Amino acid sequence: MTLVLAILAVVWIIGAVMGTPKGPRLVMVAVVMGAVGVIQLALPAGHPLREATGGDIRLWLLLAGFAVLVLAYQQGLRWLRARARPAALMPDTPKPAFEDDELRRYARHMMLRDIGGQGQKRLKNGSVLVVGAGGLGAPVLQYLAAAGVGRIGVVDFDAVDLSNLQRQVIHTENQIGQPKVASAARAMGQINHHVAVEPHEQRLTAENAPALFQRYDLILDGSDNFETRFMVNDAAVAAGRPLISGAIAQWEGQVGLYHPAGGCACYRCVFPETPPPGMVPSCAEAGVAGPLPGVIGSIMALEAVKWFTGAGESLAGRMLVWDGLYTDARVMRLTRRADCPTCGEKG
C-alpha cells in the first residue's frame, strides 16, 4: 500500500512541477487506482503484486470513497460561496449601459442597423451645445433630448415673447416672459429625464465662446443673425469642434456641417464677409413661415445623430439649401479656402 501511495505522490508532484492543471492530474490518479483495483480483483490472494499494492480491495474502496466525499464537500462549499456573494460586489459584472426603461425608450433607434446599441451608447456618452433656443433651437433641442444625447447645453439670453410661439414650438403660452433657456430646459426635462440639460443664460461673445465650446463634443448654431453665426464659427474653429450651422429666412433655409479640423470648410470659407447691417433682413423684419425652422432644425438634429453614430454620409463639406415655397432642395459642395481668415494659412 505504501508503494501505491508513493507512486500517486510522485505522479501528483511531477504533474505540479510541469504545471499540469488539477483535472488531468486527477485523471492520472484515477488511472493508477483503476490499475490497482484490477490487480486486487484479478490476482489470487497471496500473489506478491497483490500483496505489494495493499492486499485487499475493501481497503482501497474505503479510501476512494473518503476521497470522493472530500472532493464533493469542496465543490459544494465553492458553489454556496458563489451564490452567497452579493451581485454588487461581483467584480466581473459590469454596470449595464442602459436601464430597462431606456432600452424600451430607444428601441426604435437600436433596431436601426446604422445606430444599434453601440450608436445609442455613443449618443448617451455625447454632449452638444445648442446656440439659440428659438425657431431652429426648438426642434434641435426637442429631438436631441428625445434621441438620448447624454448632455445638452443651451445658450440664449432672450425671454419668451408671444410673437415667438408661431414657430418656436418648445415654448408655451405660460412661459411668456420667462428666460428661453429655462423654458427650453423645462420642456426637455419633461421629454427625457435621462438627459442632463445645462442652461446658459448669457450673451455669447468672442471672449466667452471658445471656453464654453470646449466643454461639448459638437456645436449646433441656430442663431438668427450673421454676426453671431460668424462669431460661433470662429469660436468652434478655435475650440476644434465641429459645427452644424442652420439659417432660415422667409421660405428658405440652409444647413451645413463645418469642421476644418476634420479637413472640410468652415462657415467663413463659404461666406468670407459679414454682410453690412441691414443687407440681410432678419425674421422680425422679413417674416418666416412657421414650419420652416421645424424642417431645417430637424435636419440639424438628424445630422447630429449621424455625426455621433457615424451613420450614413454627413453634411461635412456640403450645404443643403431648402426652398419651402416651391418645395425644392439643392446640395452644394463646399471647398476649404486657403485664404480663409478663420481656418486658412494666415502668416
Residues that bind Zn ion (CB under 5 A): 266, 268-269, 340, 342-343
Name the amino acid, one letter, at 264.
C
CB 124 within 8 A of CB 150: yes
**From the CB of 272, what's the least distance to Zn ion, in Å?**
8
Nearer of residues 187 and 237 to Zn ion, judged by Cβ: 237
Nearer of residues 178 and 274 to Zn ion, judged by Cβ: 274
**From the CB of 302, what's the least distance to Zn ion, in Å?**
24
**From the CB of 339, what's the least distance to Zn ion, in Å?**
9
Give alpha helix (H) positions in 43-165. Answer: 48-52, 57-84, 100-105, 107-110, 116-125, 137-147
Nearer of residues 150 and 341 to Zn ion, judged by Cβ: 341
**From the CB of 331, what's the least distance to Zn ion, in Å?**
19
Nearer of residues 65 and 240 to Zn ion, judged by Cβ: 240
SS3 call for 151: strand
**From the CB of 135, what's the least distance to Zn ion, in Å?**
26
CB 314 within 8 A of CB 287: no
Nearer of residues 229 and 268 to Zn ion, judged by Cβ: 268
Q: How far apart are CA 101 and CA 113, in angstroms?
A: 21
**From the CB of 219, what's the least distance to Zn ion, in Å?**
15
**From the CB of 268, what's the least distance to Zn ion, in Å?**
5
Residue 114: partners with Cβ closer than 8 Å, 6 or more residues away: 309, 310, 311, 312
Nearer of residues 37 and 341 to Zn ion, judged by Cβ: 341
What the block records as the C-alpha cell of 21 is 492543471
SS3 call for 255: strand
Other C-beta atoms closer than 10 Å to the C-beta of 248 total 26
Q: Is 68 exposed, middle or buried (0-12, 13-18, 19+ CB in 10 A)?
A: exposed
CA-based radius of gyration for the chain = 36
Nearer of residues 264 and 301 to Zn ion, judged by Cβ: 264
3-state helix, strand, coil in the chain (%, to 5): 50, 15, 35
